[in-house]
Every structure is written in C-alpha cells, then in structure tokens.
Amino acid sequence: MKPKTYLPEFNNARRIVWLSLGAFAMFFLLLARLWYLQEVQADQLLDQSENNRLRFVPVAAPRGAILDRNGKVLVSNTPSFSVSVIPQDVKNKEQLIDNLARYLNLDRKEILDKWSKGQGRAKYYPLVVASGITRDQMEFLEENRLSLSGVNIEMKPIRQYANGDLAAHLLGYIGEISENELTSDRYKEYNAGDYVGKSGIERAWENYLHGSDGGRQIEVDARGRFLRTVEETDSSVGNSVVLTVDLDMQKVAEQALGDQAGAAVAMDVNTGEILAFASSPDFDPTLFAGRMPPDKWKEYLEDKRRPLENKALRGMYPPGSTFKIITAIAGLEEGLIDQHTSVECPGYYKFGNSTFKCWEKKGHGHVELRRALRESCDVYFYKLAERLGVDRIAKYAKRFGLGAPLGVGLDQEKGGIIPTSEWKLKRFGKKWYQGETLSVGIGQGYVLTTPLQLASMIATVANEGTIYRPHLVKKIVDFDGKVLKEFTPEVIGKTGLHPETYKLVKEGLFAVVNEPHGTGGMARLAEVKVAGKTGSSQVVKLRDSKGDVPYQFRDHALFVAFAPYEKPEVAVAVIVEHGEHGGSAAAPVAGRIMRSYFEGKGLIKKPVPKAPPKTEEEGEGAPVLQGAPAAPGQKPAPAPGPPAVQPPAATLPKQQ
Amino acid sequence: MFDRRLFTNFDWTLLALVLVICSIGVVNIYSAASSYREIGTPFFIKQLYWITAGIVLCLTVCSLDYHMLEDFAYWLYGGILFLLLAVLVVGKTSMGATRWIHLGFFTMQPSEPMKIVIIVTFARFFSRYPVFQGLTLKDLAYPLMLLGAPALLIMKQPDLGTAILVVLIAGTMLLYVGVRWTSLATLFAAAIPLVYGGWRFVLHDYQKDRIYNFLNPDLDPQGSGYHIIQSKIAVGSGATFGKGFLHGTQSQLRFLPEQHTDFAFSVFAEEWGFIGCLVMVVLYLFLILWGLGIASRCNDRFGSLLAVGVSAMLFWHIVINMGMVIGLFPVVGVPLPFFSYGGTSMVTSMVGVGILMNISMRRFMF
C-alpha cells in the first residue's frame, strides 16, 4: 500500500454496489423498452415496415365486350398507346424531353408540364407524358428505344363503340368512379381511379363486364425506387355480355326516328327479348370516358330534345289512344260491351257541364268496337270509361304490367302511373271525379307509361295473355366463349282473360292498320300483316288552337303494333315527341322496324342498296314494290280483312 | 518491467468479451452495409482493420503502467483543451459542425480523446483530494471548472452528443467520489436557469428539432422525426426472433439512417429480434459490471477512479445509443462501442478497455 491513504473513508465497495445497481436499472429499462417494441407492438410495427416497403400497382382488367344477339360487336376495347416516363430510370432529363418532343411532334413545354405535375409521386410510378399516340409513332419510339432510357410505352385498352352513337343510351358509357360510388356498398371492391360503367348496360352489368383487376406488389426502397416485383396477379378480362338486341333493327329504329326526339322499343312477343331499344337523339359515349369538351356538355344539357335521357326506359308519356286497347279489354271482360255494342258519335260527348270532344269533329256516327278501335273514336271510349269507372280500368291496366317497373335490367327504370281513386286520394288528398275517368279512358289525364311498358303491353295482347319479363341480355359469355349464364324467358304475369276478348281486340287492331279509314295505315307491310294502334297524347290542352302550334306544345305521336297478325312474333312501341299524329309520325317508324325484323328473318327481301343497273325504276323503294306481289306466293294470303289495298302505303315508311 | 505476473494476471475475460461484441458488430455491419453501393473496401473489412488497430492500441496501453498517467494527467488535459480551442479557430467544418482539426499529416477530432482525458484528469484530481462525507459545493468548484471548459467548447462546435457524454462521465465519477445531498440539490436548482439559457442561446435549431421530435416524432414523420419512427419500426418489426440475417427490410431497403454507424443496433434488432437484443444487452451489462468489478478490486484510488470513469464512458455510450434507436432518448450522434462502424469510436473504446486491463492486471502489484 502506498501512502496515499491520508484520504479518509473512501467507501469503495459500497459505491461500486450503488453504481452497479444503477447500471442494472438502466439496462433493465432498455430491455423493458425492447420488450415493449418487439413483443407488445411487434405486429403493428411489422405492418408498418411492410407498408414502408410494399406498394401495390393495380393493373386494370380489360373490360368485357358487348355484343348484339347475333354476335356482332357493339362495344369492345381498342388499344390506345401512351408514352410514360419512369423518373427513376431517366438518365438525362433535358435530353429526353428534347427527343420526345421531336419524335412525338409535341411542344417541349407540354411534356415538361406533365412531368412536373407528377413530381410529387413515387419515382417508380410511370408519369404519362403523351397519350393516344399513333401506331406509327409508337413503332418509331420502339425503334429508338436506346436513346430513350426511362421511357415506357404502355398499351391501355380503351372503350370502342363499333357503331359510334348507335344505342348510346342502351350501352351506356364508362367513367372514373366517383366519390359517392366509392362509398356505396355496390362498389366496395373498387378503388379510386377505377373505371366503372356509369349508365346503361355498362353500369347495370358492371359485375360481369369489369373482369378482375390484377396488380403487382412491388418492393421499393426508402427513396421510393422500384426494386423488384414481389407478387403479381394477372388481371382477367371481363365477360362479354350478349344482348338480345338486333344490331340491324336497332340501326333502323334509330334511323327512322332520325332527329326527332322519341323512343322505339321492339320486343319478341314470345320471349320478352328486346330487339331494339332506341332513344333519340343520341349522344357520343366516347366523350364521357375521356374529358368532355365543355361546349359539348353544354350543348347536351341545353338541347330541348334531352339527348342524355334514355326515353325508352325513363320517358313517361300519356299513352293517348294506345290505351284504348286496355279500356276496350276492360269493357269486354266486364261484360259491358260486346262486338256489336254500338255508340252514336256526334263528335263530342257532353258530360256534366263539360264537353269532351272526339278528335273527329264531324263525328263517327254509328260506332261499334271494331270501328271504334280502327278510327280511334274518342266518344265510344268516353262512354265505356264512364261505365267502367277508373278503378276497373286500372285493374286491367295493371294486369298488363302498366304502372310499375318491369325490371328490364337497367338502373333507374321508371314505372309510370296508372291512377285509381285511392291513388288520387293518397297523392293529392282529393276524391276522384267521374270526368277524370273519361280522360283516363283515352289514355290522358294522370296516365303515364314508358315506351318499354307500351311495348310489353302490346306484346302481351299479341301473345294473348303472357307477360314476359322484358330483358336485354341473352347470355354472359366468358373470354373463352363459354356461356356462363343464359337468360331464358321469364313469365312475370298472366292476364287471364277470355280468348274471345283478345280475338275482338286484335281484329280491331288489324283494322287500324289494314282497313280503309284505319289510323295506322302507314305501318302497313305488304308481305306481313301488321296490327296496331295509333295514339296522340296531349301535352297541353290546346285542342282548339289553329295554325302552327309551337314545338313544345305539340302532341306526342305514339304507335304500338305487332306482327304477323296471325302468329305474332314481334311487338313494337314508338313514341315521337311532339310528332302530333301517331298515324303519320310514329306508325311509319314502327313499320320500318318491323320490316327490318322480317328482312332479318328472310320473310321480306332486303332492298338491294345500289339498284340502278338492275331495275329501270328509280330509288330504293322500287325493289320493295316489286317484291310485294311475290310475297303471297311465298306465303298464302291470310284470310281476315282485305290485304294491302293501297300498295304505295307500304313504301311510305321508306320515304320518311 | 515486464513482470511474469502481468501475463498470468492478464484479463482474458475482458478481452474475450470485447472480441465477442466486436465480432457480432462486424457481422451486423456486413448486413447493414450490404445494401450500399460500395466503392472500395467494404465496411465490415474496414471495421476488421479498425478492430485490429484497436487491439494493438489496447495492448500498448495496458503494457505501460497506468500510474504514469497520473503524472501526465494535467498535461494531457491542457493539450486537448488547447486543441479544442484551436478547432474553434482553424477547425474543419463539415455538415454544419466544426469538429475536426488538421494536425500536419492527419486529421483529428479532439472532442473524442477528451472523453478519456476528462477521466484521467478527474481521477488525478480526486486521487489526491481529501473528501469528508461527500463533496461540498466548494469542493466541487474546481472540478466543475475543469469539466465546464471542455464541455462548453465541445457544445460550441456543436457536438451535443459528446458534450453530454463528457458531462455524464465526469458526473458519474463525482457520484463515485461522493457528493453531499445538499450540494446536489443546490446544483440542480442552479441547473434550471442554466438549462433554460442553454436552450435559448446555445442550442442550435436542428438540435432543438431533434428534442422536439423525440418528444413527439409523429409531428413530422417525413422530416426530422423520420429517424426515430423508422428506427422504432425496424426494432419492433423484428419481434421475438427477428427477420433473419440480411433479411431486415428496414435496413436492406435503407429506411434507416446511418445504419452502419449510429443505427447499427436497429439493424441488429430487426434481424435478430428480442432474443438477439437480450444477448447484446446482457453482454454489455457484463462488460460494465466487469469494469466496475475492476474498480472495486483495485487498491489504489487513482486506478479505482480511472476504472469507474472508463466503465461510465462505455455505459453512457451504450445507454444513449440504444435508448436513441428504441426511442427512449432523442437522436444524438453517439455510437455503440465495439458495435457501430467507425475508427474514432473504436480507438476511444479500445483505449478505455486497455486502461481497464491495465488496472486489472496490476492490482496485485502494490
């Protein structure tokens, strides 16, 4: 021991123990914290570490196609090439922009703008600098790949509408999913930025069309640079939807409607399959997928003919005289009339203090059922309606599927209105007036129907009592052509009427088209017997006004029909908004649609488009005229009623 | 001078302990740096060089009798203090701090040897200072001046981590010598305005940010709180058994900052889990207790104080570094001894261990 011990009581051992205990305590604290992080919070922190490194890059599945009943393509996908830049792979930004600008014929600034807009994004994320480039440009870029490091050419399928605007309402359009849709249950599997069907078939059959999106789980480093693909799920293409619609009939329907606002629905009488579903005017569905030019959008919104509305599905119109079919059926079934029950029509009917006018001011004179339907005598139906009362009319209307949506399989189908006294009390809190019944009897007043319902109604008359669910989709087919789902006719109701009722009503409808004084002569076909009913429904009470009525106050023109008369196959309902007379505005449209149907079946010869070398006659109508006499040869002339007495009438639709 | 007893009394346990920790460190650096695009010699090889150099230094230190230090103590103190002053005047600035000084053929960081020198200085001072029932305020005046001068100079560079370490090492030694409760209470009372003043006038904004972010790292998860959050994620996601060697995603994908140096332990914790951490903490605890054991077995006061000082130096490095990577303490650039990559830290720690061995094997010589 050296003599340094003059230092008093240096309690070495005790202090060392204290320091050791301190060290113990500190290390225990460290261990406790490690335990907390690695045992208690481990799962949560592990998740965070996974979130750090893994990113999901979705790959949208190509949408399924939409085909017509014969497999003709209505909507498909077409490749669209876009040029994108992956910032992490770019070596020389300035030079690359110069090259791209030169190769793509773009403004340098334009590329730079798009580039800087995506600056905040992760470095592995492709930044689209030009989209919709041509195939030539694409190939040129591919050839010059070496001088374009970091450039990616992407092929993205975009929707292609094979026939342009055709059936735009029916097919619908797609667009980026909206905030509202994202929060709804229907789209709970979707992510922001996904494209979904926004209307029509695209929307209603989204589940089948969409396909399953794939994606890549990628690993990125702390700077967000792509390192490797961890997992890849292939996207699988959506299924194709095969419609019941016939492309040719759809085309004819839309051509026949032309510029006029209106709708036409053609239906298979024996299955409920919809053959044509036209709403006019059309819109361009491709505009909705991309960026809609504001002036176009404004144009659509301001057009009085409401191009964006699917009138076949959602247009609600007073059925006018087409409703007389229901009134007549109600009268026959209730035993209030028979075929000989007659009414004297002086051109008006005085009821209480008011006078209800017949459209024929001179009056029809002596009228029984067949003539009442043929010439659409209002007075006959006023009197019948008066005796029936509104509730009995409504009973039969509803038996024919009117007044409620039929479930055609598109979103937002309208149901129309079939008024009853109870309905009025509930709706307006007022009791029903007898006078209102007279309006209902001729399809005016509160009665509202959609073109789809009218088509279904006349189809049910044609097939004598079976209401098939009108449907637009025949089957769902997957990518390999395997049928996943097939839609068979579904009976949603039976009217349960006496066969005699149908016989009498149908005879009347035959007369409408085929007899002199019939209001629907313009729907007549030379080769096939058509039966139908015209209608003009009042928009406002302007019956007395003379001269030119402003467009928006003109009557709607309606026509419902079926053919062939003996063994009905096709039913058609047409409405031309403000077309004034069903017989002149709507009946020819229906005629052309039915002609197209029978042309498709080979019952009517198609006019040869460029005829001049073949015939001396001028114009397209000529072959049809010549074909007319041939028709009876193919098929024996049907018995009832005089056959086409006025051959030129058959060509009228063509001249429309 | 070379006694045979020196060899028989050589502290093989301490050397083995240090080498085990160093080896684990090298393996970990291999993993931590495996994602780097390295130019030249890989970090783990360079670390092996540093370890070799460190061992040589360590053995050199322990071959010379530590009592020599007692004679040189104040000269050493004066020299390093001078260099610290010189740094402020002619120092090399990098990344906003002036810590390095050119000394002709090599560059050095005088704050680093100050950690050892303050130990030697305090040991020298208290080995000859009579203490009766703890140090009074008056007794503390001189030592606190000895401590304050280098501490403030280092803080000014600024190098908060080293300054804190120097203060903590000296403070631990003071506690070992014994401080009266009244003096402690008075010092704490005086420290409050001092800390406030330091916060207002001395600390740099980036240092304040670090403290703010330590208190609430979620304030700015992409900014300066990033380090703490990412490190906690790395450690926690290791769970019980870890993600496996070279499979730590946080480290391999470079979400961790400074992962081969200050955050090396996060890498280790992620890949080896709680079990690995437990092993490391136990090894370090054993190291510290071994050092304190040397202090308690040493018969002379200078040696005992020296051993406590070196143990305190290692202890505080370990606690502050580990506490930082697991979010207990704010981020201050303190390496983990023998584990983090780096020559400076390795040299300092090895010199410390050399001193411990020196004391350990000479305890029977008196």
Task: Tell me what pLDDT residue B78 has.
Answer: 95
Q: Do B292 and A52 touch (CB under 8 A)?
A: no
Q: Do B274 and A38 touch (CB under 8 A)?
A: yes
Picking from A355, A353, A352, A373, the residue whose alpha carbon sits closest to that of residue A364 is A373
- pLDDT tens-digit profile of A275-324? 999 998 998 888 886 667 788 888 888 888 999 999 999 999 999 999 99
Task: Tell me what pLDDT residue A371 has.
Answer: 93
The enclosing domain of A115 has a CATH number of 3.90.1310.10
Residue A4 has pLDDT above 60, yes or no: no
Which residue of A30, A45, A221 is in closest CB contact with B236?
Answer: A45
Which residue of A2, A23, A219 is in closest CB contact with B366?
Answer: A2
Q: Do A39 and B327 touch (CB under 8 A)?
A: no
Contacts of A7 in chain B (CB under 8 A): 127-131, 301
In the block, residue with structure tokens 């629907």: A520
Contacts of B234 in chain A (CB under 8 A): 49
Residue A653 has pLDDT above 50, yes or no: no
Whether residues A471 and A556 fall in one domain: yes
Please state the domain count of chain A.
3
- pLDDT tens-digit profile of A161-209? 988 889 999 999 988 888 888 888 888 888 777 788 999 999 999 999 9
Which domain-ending residue is among A90, A121, A156? Answer: A156
Q: Do A35 and B274 touch (CB under 8 A)?
A: yes
Please state the domain count of chain B.
1
Q: Do B249 and A6 touch (CB under 8 A)?
A: no
Distinct helix (H) and strand (E) counts, chain B: 14, 3
Cross-strand partners of A73:
A67
Q: A568 lies in which domain range?
A: 247-294+309-655
Which residue of B131, B236, B326 is in closest CB contact with A42?
Answer: B236
Picking from A202, A206, A177, A176, the residue whose alpha carbon sits closest to that of residue A290 is A176
Whether residues A142 and A228 fall in one domain: no
State the smallest CA–CA distance between residue B339 and chain A in angstroms.
Answer: 17
Q: What percent of chain A has pLDDT over 90?
A: 50
State the smallest CA–CA distance between residue B100 and chain A in angstroms.
Answer: 31
Six-digit token string for A260: 């006029």
Q: Do B255 and A12 touch (CB under 8 A)?
A: no
Q: How confident is the model at residue A618 (pLDDT cuts 50, 70, 90)?
A: very low
Cross-strand partners of B305:
none
DSSP string, A54-84: EEEEEEPPPPPPEE-TTS-EEEEEEEEEEEE
Task: Tell me what pLDDT residue A547 has.
Answer: 60
Task: Tell me what pLDDT residue A649 has.
Answer: 37
Which residue of A34, A45, A48 is in closest CB contact with B277?
Answer: A34
List the pLDDT tens digit at each of the 366 positions of chain B.
Answer: 456 666 778 899 999 999 999 999 999 999 998 877 767 888 999 999 999 999 999 999 988 888 888 888 999 999 999 999 998 888 777 766 777 887 777 778 889 999 999 999 999 999 888 877 788 888 888 999 999 999 999 988 878 889 999 999 999 999 998 888 888 898 888 888 888 887 777 777 777 777 776 666 655 555 556 788 889 999 999 999 999 999 888 888 888 878 888 899 999 999 999 999 999 999 999 999 999 999 998 888 899 999 999 999 999 999 999 999 998 888 778 899 999 998 889 999 999 999 999 999 887 655
Contacts of B240 in chain A (CB under 8 A): 38-39, 42
Pick from A4, A21, A45, A47 the residue to mutate for testing the B interface (most B CBs within 10 Å).
A45
Whether residues A507 and A413 fall in one domain: yes
Whether residues A219 and A256 fall in one domain: no
State the smallest CA–CA distance between residue A152 and chain B in angstroms.
Answer: 25
Contacts of B328 in chain A (CB under 8 A): 29-30, 33
Cα three-residue angle B149-B359-B110, rounded to 5 degrees: 30
- pLDDT tens-digit profile of A524-550? 998 999 999 999 988 876 555 556 778
Pick from A34, A46, A54 the residue to mutate for testing the B interface (most B CBs within 10 Å).
A34
Whether residues A85 and A201 fall in one domain: no
Which residue of B175, B274, B299 is in closest CB contact with A39?
Answer: B274
Whether residues A556 and A638 fall in one domain: yes
Which residue of A24, A34, A227 is in closest CB contact with B326?
Answer: A34
Residue A151 has pLDDT above 60, yes or no: yes
Pick from A5, A16, A123 the residue to mutate for testing the B interface (most B CBs within 10 Å).
A16
Whether residues A118 and A171 fall in one domain: no
DSSP string, B212-254: HHHH-GGGSTTTTTHHHHHHHHHHHHTTTT-S-TT--HHHHTT
Q: How far is CA A437 from CA A368, A369, A419, in A?
A: 20, 19, 9
Q: B259 lies in which domain range?
A: 4-63+204-362
How much is the mean pLDDT over chain A? 84
Q: Do B299 and A4 touch (CB under 8 A)?
A: no
A572 located within any domain: yes
Whether residues A400 and A507 fall in one domain: yes
Sign, CA dihedral A244-A247-A249-A255, equals: positive
A20 located within any domain: no
Rounded distance, CA A386 to CA A327, Å?
Answer: 11
Q: How confident is the model at residue A636 (pLDDT cuts 50, 70, 90)?
A: very low
Mapped onto helix, strand or coil, the DSSP state of residue B105 is: coil
A304 located within any domain: no
Which domain-ending residue is among A93, A121, A156? Answer: A156
Chain A CA closest to residue B324? A30
Rounded distance, CA A401 to CA A460, Å?
Answer: 9
B133 located within any domain: no
A87 located within any domain: yes
Helix A12-35 to helix B160-177 angle (10° resolution) is: 140
Pairing of strands A66-67, A240-243: parallel
Rounded distance, CA B81 to CA B90, Å?
Answer: 14
A594 located within any domain: yes
Chain A CA closest to residue B172? A19
Task: Tell me what pLDDT residue A638 has.
Answer: 38
Q: Do B304 and A13 touch (CB under 8 A)?
A: no
Q: How confident is the model at residue A620 (pLDDT cuts 50, 70, 90)?
A: very low
Q: Do B127 and A24 touch (CB under 8 A)?
A: no
Rounded distance, CA A408 to CA A405, Å?
Answer: 8
State the smallest CA–CA distance between residue B83 and chain A in angstroms.
Answer: 32
Q: Do A34 and B285 touch (CB under 8 A)?
A: no
In the block, residue with structure tokens 């098929």: A635
Rounded distance, CA A381 to CA A357, Å?
Answer: 11
Mean pLDDT, residues A216-241: 82
Task: Tell me what pLDDT residue B224 has.
Answer: 56
Cα three-residue angle B196-B200-B201, rounded to 5 degrees: 115
Q: Do A44 and B236 touch (CB under 8 A)?
A: yes
Q: Do B327 and A223 touch (CB under 8 A)?
A: no
Rounded distance, CA B148 to CA B128, Å?
Answer: 21
Rounded distance, CA A598 to CA A592, Å?
Answer: 10
Contacts of B304 in chain A (CB under 8 A): 12
Contact (CB, 8 A) for A32 and A40: no
Helix B301-325 to helix B67-90 angle (10° resolution) is: 40
Which domain-ending residue is among A156, A178, A196? Answer: A156
